[in-house]
Amino acid sequence: MSGSSRAGHYFGTEIGGKWWKRYRAPGFSARGNGAWWFEDDELRFHRTLTKETTRIPLRLVTGISFGTWHAGQWNAGRPVVKVTWTLDGQELSSGFGFGDRPSADAFVAEIRTRRPDLG
Protein backbone atom coordinates (compact mmCIF):
# COMPACT_ATOMS: atom_id res chain seq x y z
CA MET A 1 0.00 0.00 0.00
CA SER A 2 1.20 3.43 -0.87
CA GLY A 3 0.43 6.61 1.00
CA SER A 4 -1.43 6.79 4.26
CA SER A 5 -3.98 4.00 4.72
CA ARG A 6 -6.84 4.06 7.19
CA ALA A 7 -9.17 1.41 8.54
CA GLY A 8 -12.68 0.87 7.18
CA HIS A 9 -15.19 -1.72 5.99
CA TYR A 10 -16.22 -2.47 2.39
CA PHE A 11 -19.94 -3.29 2.09
CA GLY A 12 -19.96 -4.17 -1.59
CA THR A 13 -20.99 -2.46 -4.81
CA GLU A 14 -24.59 -2.26 -6.00
CA ILE A 15 -25.67 -1.98 -9.62
CA GLY A 16 -28.36 0.58 -10.45
CA GLY A 17 -29.18 1.33 -6.80
CA LYS A 18 -30.58 -2.17 -6.22
CA TRP A 19 -29.23 -3.70 -2.99
CA TRP A 20 -29.74 -7.25 -4.29
CA LYS A 21 -27.88 -6.65 -7.57
CA ARG A 22 -24.17 -6.80 -6.74
CA TYR A 23 -21.25 -5.88 -8.98
CA ARG A 24 -18.85 -8.82 -8.95
CA ALA A 25 -15.86 -7.81 -11.05
CA PRO A 26 -12.43 -8.85 -9.70
CA GLY A 27 -11.70 -6.94 -6.49
CA PHE A 28 -15.35 -6.05 -5.85
CA SER A 29 -17.06 -9.24 -4.76
CA ALA A 30 -15.65 -9.83 -1.26
CA ARG A 31 -16.96 -7.67 1.60
CA GLY A 32 -15.04 -7.07 4.78
CA ASN A 33 -12.72 -5.05 6.96
CA GLY A 34 -9.54 -3.58 5.60
CA ALA A 35 -7.81 -0.32 4.75
CA TRP A 36 -8.43 2.47 2.25
CA TRP A 37 -6.12 4.99 0.63
CA PHE A 38 -5.70 7.04 -2.54
CA GLU A 39 -3.10 6.24 -5.19
CA ASP A 40 -2.74 7.09 -8.90
CA ASP A 41 -6.04 9.06 -8.89
CA GLU A 42 -7.91 6.01 -7.57
CA LEU A 43 -9.72 5.19 -4.35
CA ARG A 44 -8.32 1.86 -3.22
CA PHE A 45 -9.56 -0.55 -0.58
CA HIS A 46 -7.75 -3.72 0.41
CA ARG A 47 -9.67 -6.24 2.49
CA THR A 48 -7.81 -8.08 5.21
CA LEU A 49 -6.62 -11.57 4.19
CA THR A 50 -7.30 -11.07 0.46
CA LYS A 51 -4.99 -10.56 -2.51
CA GLU A 52 -7.14 -8.27 -4.66
CA THR A 53 -7.56 -4.55 -4.11
CA THR A 54 -10.77 -2.72 -4.97
CA ARG A 55 -9.97 0.24 -7.25
CA ILE A 56 -12.33 3.04 -8.18
CA PRO A 57 -10.94 5.67 -10.58
CA LEU A 58 -11.86 9.05 -9.10
CA ARG A 59 -12.64 10.44 -12.58
CA LEU A 60 -15.61 8.03 -12.72
CA VAL A 61 -17.13 9.16 -9.40
CA THR A 62 -20.43 11.01 -9.86
CA GLY A 63 -21.53 11.51 -6.26
CA ILE A 64 -21.17 10.81 -2.55
CA SER A 65 -23.92 10.22 0.02
CA PHE A 66 -24.30 8.97 3.59
CA GLY A 67 -26.45 6.22 5.07
CA THR A 68 -26.35 3.49 7.71
CA TRP A 69 -26.70 0.49 5.36
CA HIS A 70 -25.55 -0.58 1.91
CA ALA A 71 -25.90 -3.62 -0.37
CA GLY A 72 -28.24 -5.30 2.09
CA GLN A 73 -26.00 -4.82 5.13
CA TRP A 74 -26.70 -2.55 8.09
CA ASN A 75 -23.85 -0.78 9.89
CA ALA A 76 -25.58 -0.72 13.31
CA GLY A 77 -26.37 2.98 13.01
CA ARG A 78 -22.79 3.96 12.19
CA PRO A 79 -22.06 5.90 8.98
CA VAL A 80 -21.73 4.29 5.56
CA VAL A 81 -20.35 6.44 2.76
CA LYS A 82 -21.83 5.54 -0.63
CA VAL A 83 -19.58 6.41 -3.55
CA THR A 84 -21.59 6.52 -6.79
CA TRP A 85 -19.70 6.03 -10.04
CA THR A 86 -20.30 5.00 -13.63
CA LEU A 87 -18.46 2.29 -15.56
CA ASP A 88 -19.36 1.04 -19.04
CA GLY A 89 -22.82 2.61 -18.84
CA GLN A 90 -23.63 1.05 -15.45
CA GLU A 91 -24.41 3.16 -12.40
CA LEU A 92 -22.54 1.64 -9.47
CA SER A 93 -22.58 2.49 -5.77
CA SER A 94 -19.80 1.24 -3.49
CA GLY A 95 -20.35 1.39 0.28
CA PHE A 96 -17.64 2.01 2.85
CA GLY A 97 -18.35 1.78 6.58
CA PHE A 98 -16.72 3.61 9.45
CA GLY A 99 -16.90 3.36 13.22
CA ASP A 100 -17.69 7.05 13.71
CA ARG A 101 -18.78 10.15 11.83
CA PRO A 102 -15.37 11.93 11.98
CA SER A 103 -13.72 8.99 10.17
CA ALA A 104 -16.47 9.00 7.51
CA ASP A 105 -16.17 12.78 7.15
CA ALA A 106 -12.37 12.47 6.66
CA PHE A 107 -12.96 9.89 3.90
CA VAL A 108 -15.42 12.19 2.10
CA ALA A 109 -13.16 15.23 2.57
CA GLU A 110 -10.27 13.40 0.90
CA ILE A 111 -12.45 12.48 -2.09
CA ARG A 112 -13.73 16.06 -2.39
CA THR A 113 -10.16 17.40 -2.19
CA ARG A 114 -9.30 15.28 -5.22
CA ARG A 115 -12.65 15.97 -6.95
CA PRO A 116 -13.74 19.51 -5.93
CA ASP A 117 -16.49 19.45 -8.59
CA LEU A 118 -18.43 16.96 -6.43
CA GLY A 119 -19.13 19.74 -3.91
Question: What's the pLDDT tens digit per position in 69-116?
Answer: 999 999 999 999 999 999 999 999 999 999 899 999 999 999 999 999
SS3 per-residue string spanning 18-85: EEEEECCCCCCCCCEEEEEEEECCEEEEEECCCCCEEEEEHHHEEEEEEECEECCEECCCCCEEEEEE
Cα 37 to Cα 72: distance, rounded to the nearest angstrom: 24
* Over residues 50-76, mean pLDDT: 94
pLDDT in the model for residue 3: 60
Mean residue pLDDT across the chain: 92
Domain 6-118 in CATH 3.20.10.10: no
Q: Provide the 3-class DSSP secondary structure of residue 108.
A: helix
Q: What is the pTM assigned to this prediction?
A: 0.92
pLDDT in the model for residue 18: 94
What whole-number percentage of the chain has pLDDT above 90?
83
